[in-house]
Structure 1
Amino acid sequence: MVPWLKNSLVSEQLGLRTLQTENVQKDLAIYPAFQDVSIMVVLGFAFLLAFLRRYGFSSAGFSLFLAALGVQWALIVNGFIFHFSDGQVKINLQSILAAIMSITAVLISAGAILGKANLMQLICMAVVEVAVFAGNRWIIVAVLGIKSHISLMHVHLFGTFFGSTVSWFLYNSSQHPKVEKERSKPASDVFAMLGTLFLWTFWPSFNSVLVENEEEKMVAIYNTYFAMATSAVAAFAFSKATSSDGTFHMAHIQNATLAGGVAIGFSVSIIQYPWIAMTLGLAAGAGSVLGFAFLQKRLKPALRIHDTCGVLYTFGLPSLIGGITRIILILIDSQEDLEGMGYLALIELGASCAIISLGLMAGFITGFLLTFEFWKAPPITKYFDDQAFWEFPHLAAGY
């Protein structure tokens, strides 16, 4: 064998062996939570987006594809930004977890344009979004000094504003009011509710898995559960209160029950009293339902943003509530040090503003790119319809 080739192969084997045996006990310890997060992303979002009556194949199938593609791309981008040393990208279970959590932004954005883009457009969106989010994380971690696991909690905020801006470019006035194919049916609503149940059950793992201090990790689990429980109760209560006939609205329950987990993520390990977590969950759940009930139908024609899944009220509004709450908690905890209090509050505010600003700018550029004709976007008549992408030998009209 050629000497240089032999040396190269030996180096690769040694490098691979190092990656396999480094921090094995630590990786094995977080593997159960790794499974929880994987179920959230793959099953939870796939089912949550499958509420449209004629778009179930694409909702679930494209979600799986974006998750699989996005994890690989996120590993590469995150690796070169956060885990590159000695000419190698270090890969362990924590880096894979960070990649999985990063692609949550892509799935949230996909929910905003659900049914209006083909797979190639979604791939373009995923490639840009993952790269920009990774760069954004580097800014708020390396420059602003935000903890790495907190930077990943901004994923909901980034995905919402990125997706909403892309949706603005894909807006068509004929989509207002709702077309028949944009509605759900009982069977599709059950699938979406199943996605909600997966997400609701495993969200404590999502918020706590990368918290390193064991005591803080347990606090994060407790707080997430308290916030999720109260947001679920608030979703039912406010859904009934906002209904003209006193019934529950399935879209409210599917989405607003998750708002507590989104909102609590920013301050999940610093809240020391359960009532604060429960109050935050209550506010997030109530705000989400009120957004669906009163803002969605008014903002659609006013802002020309067609948000198919209502991600602005499931993820965006609760994220804003959570970010504001974190700033308030920091101000309260640091009130004895006025100078330090103002500095920390400005850091947190700067991180949120950076996330929103870069999300809007990246979404603007991506949305503009997706309007080009070479993408062969589906026509308006094929929106929210699986038959534009999937084989239907029976050509059933009422599937």
Structure 2
Amino acid sequence: MTDVATNMRLKLPIICFILEIILIILFGVLVQYNEETDAKEWHKKNHSDYENDFYYRYPSFQDVHVMIFIGFGFLMTFLQRYGFSSVGFNFLIAAFSLQWATLMQGFFHGMHGGKIHIGVESMINADFCTGSVLISFGAVLGKTSPVQLLVMALFEVTLFAVNEFILLTLLGTRDAGGSMTIHTFGAYFGLMVTRILYRPNLDKSKHRNSSVYHSDLFAMIGTIYLWMFWPSFNSAITAHGDDQHRTAMNTYYSLAACTLSTYGMSALTAHDGKLDMVHIQNAALAGGVAAGTAGEMMLTPYGSMIVGFLAGIISVLGFKYLSPILEEKLKIQDTCGVHNLHGMPGILGAIVGAVTAAVATADVYGDGMKDVFPDVASGKVDASYQGGIQAASLAVTLGIALLGGLIVGFILKLPVFGAPSDTICYEDNIYWEVPEEETDHVDQSTGVRMEESQKLNS
């Protein structure tokens, strides 16, 4: 099925080898272990080995890592003939992004004496950045080549690190679970990229832009992994103790409430009352996204449940009514519906975080104020100002995501990157060796299956 334009024989090896060689050189020049991982530095101090940050952070890192490689990868296998690409390209761009993110985040957050110091927490942060790239991948799923995806990741990781630095360091924004920095940024960056890459004749591949029984079942595996580990995702880098405990608990109840509202809305919006697997696979996770910013705050258990309940409703309505409008009116072809799972719930999470921050008081937080809102605790700002900073951060994130996606989208339009034509999108055969009995023989010039063509001729 591969033609000259989509042949990766030279394009993919060139970009993979060049990028990895550059990464190795930069790591050799700039990166070194932090004191938690360096043999000499760790043993300079008199402490127990079990005080090492590894024992506090690594379990959370493992959970986040599973979400990135299994959760996101399998969630996108719903397309009937794009399973190899969904899991395989997810694997490829995640492996690159986590290395590049270590450098980009290090430039802004982890430079010490001209060196980037890395440890288990920087591994978690790199995975967070990778998650944002994979959200954008969902928007362009099935319509891009692996070379395009690597180029997109190269630019997006860089812009992610810039946005993260502006919010967390310059503005003092609180966003432990990444409702803004990860989900909102990744969603709207991906939506702008897919808008620029709009394909007016994509309906020629419409017969493959759908699921079958077993592909939806595989996608549900991704959903369950993400659902189970999301409390770890939101709490992975919060302060030890009550902060981490509270974040995990808030996310836990938000997800549970979201799941019930998702099932209810899915049945309610169907004329025959039947559940839609697309809603269950995606909208049931929106509670984790929406609890990201306020998760470490004193949101209260019932407050978390309200947030999750609303997130499920918004997400299902987005899948049912808004996605068709975005495609028809704005020409945004969002394959995975990332606007409904990450975009709108991310904005909801940012709003909830702003309101919760604005009403924070010393009576509620006590001495814990210095962990959750250090600037408020120190008297540098008051709670209402912190709430305003949270709201402004959402605007900054949207601006950088949309402008960045616009520029990167035009870069990805260059024909040299080997994107599939409109007639052969959502098809593994373009870039993968597929077992013969599973091969969907398609005439690239017409988009018609060879078996169908033979029947018509006879």
Tell whether the structures are fold-level matches, with TM greater than 0.5: yes
1:273 alignment counterpart: 300
The answer on 1:377 being equivalent to 2:419 is: yes
**1:201 corresponds to:** 228
What SS does the corresponding residue of 1:266 show, helix, strand or coil? coil
SS of equivalent to 1:149: coil
> For the structure 1 residues 324 and 264, does the alpha-carbon distance in structure 2 shift closer, same or farther, using more than 3 Å as the test?
same
SS in 2 for 1:89: strand
Match of 1:122 among 128, 134, 149: 149
1:28 equivalent in structure 2: 55
Q: Does 1:325 align with 2:352?
A: yes
Alignment check: 8 A CA contact 2:179 2:293 kept: no
Question: Cα gap change, 1:360/1:188 in structure 2, threshold over 3 Å: closer, same or farther?
Answer: same
SS at match of 2:239: coil
CA distance in structure 1 between the aligned counterparts of 2:337 and 2:57, rounded to whole angstroms: 32
| Residue number in structure 2 paired with 1:349 | 391
Q: What's 2:68 paired with? A: 41
- Counterpart residue type for residue 391 of structure 2: L
**Does the 8 Å contact 1:230/1:282 carry over to 2?**
yes
> What is the aligned partner in structure 1 of residue 431 from structure 2?
389
Equivalent residues of 1:230, 1:281 under 8 A apart: yes
How many aligned residue pairs are there?
A: 387
Equivalent position SS for 1:103: helix
Extract unaligned runs of 5+ from structure 2: 1-27, 43-48, 364-375, 442-458
- Determine if the alignment matches structure 1 residue 166 to structure 2 residue 208: no
TM-score (norm 2): 0.80
Q: Is 1:135 aligned to residue 177 of structure 2?
A: no
2:382 match: 340
Q: Which residue of 2 aligns with 1:52?
A: 79
Q: Which consecutive residues of structure 1, in runs of 5 or more, have no partner in the other structure?
A: 1-10
- Partners of 1:335 and 1:20 in 2: how far apart? 39
Opposite residue 391 of structure 1, the aligned amino acid is E
1:55-102 CA distances to partner (integer Å, 9 max, x unpaired)?
000000000111111100001111121111123210100001100111
The corresponding residue for 1:316 is: 343
2:358–2:388 CA contact under 8 A, matched in 1: no
Aligned-pair Cα RMSD in Å: 2.3
1:271–1:277 CA contact under 8 A, matched in 2: no
**Counterpart of 1:90 in 2: which secondary structure?**
strand
Q: Equivalents in 1 of 2:344, 2:178: separation in Å? A: 18
| TM-score of the two chains, using structure 1 as the length reference | 0.92
Q: Residue by residue, what CA displacement relative to the aligned partner does 1:322-350 show, whole Å, maximum 9, x if unpaired?
A: 1111122223336999x934422221111
Could you tell me whether the CA contact under 8 Å between 1:125 and 1:366 is conserved in 2? yes
Paired position in structure 2 for 1:359: 401
Deviations 1:151-200 (A, max 9, x none): 67520000000000000011122235971100000100001000000000
Aligned residues: percent identity? 36
Q: Structure 2 vs 1, CA of residues 41 and 303 (structure 1 numbering), >3 Å: closer, same or farther?
A: same
The worse-fitting range, judged by mean Cα deviation, of 268-277 and 284-293 is 268-277
Q: C-alpha separation between the residues in 2 aligned to 1:317 and 1:173?
A: 26
Alignment counterpart, residue 248 of structure 2, candidates 215, 218, 221: 221
User: Structure 1 residues 333, 149: CA separation in 2 closer, same or farther (over 3 Å shift)?
Assistant: closer
Match of 1:84 in 2: 111
Give the corresponding residue for 1:7: none
Q: Which residue of structure 2 lines up, in the alignment, with residue 4 of structure 1? A: none
Match of 1:3 in 2: none
Change (3 A) 1:144 1:304: same
Distance of 2:150 and 2:256 partners within structure 1: 35
> Quick check: 268-277 or 65-74, which moved more?
268-277
Kept in 2, the 8 Å contact 1:43–1:195? The answer is yes
Aligned to 2:182: 155
Instruction: Return the letter of the residue paired with 2:412.
Output: L
Letter of the structure 1 residue corresponding to residue 208 of structure 2: K
Query: SS state of the match for residue 118, structure 2?
Result: coil
1:116·1:378 contact (CA, 8 Å) conserved in 2?
Answer: yes
Structure 1 residue 146: deviation in Å? 2.0
8 Å contact kept, 1:150–1:266: yes
In structure 1, what residue type is equivalent to 2:147?
M
1:350 & 1:17 partners in 2: Cα distance? 33
| Contact 1:102/1:152 (8 A) holds in 2 | no
Distance 1:16 1:189 in 2: 42
SS of residue matched to 1:390? coil
The separation in 1 between residues aligned to 2:300 and 2:356, in whole angstroms, is 12
Q: Deviations over 1:205-246 (max 9, x none)?
A: 000010113101111111000000011111111000001111
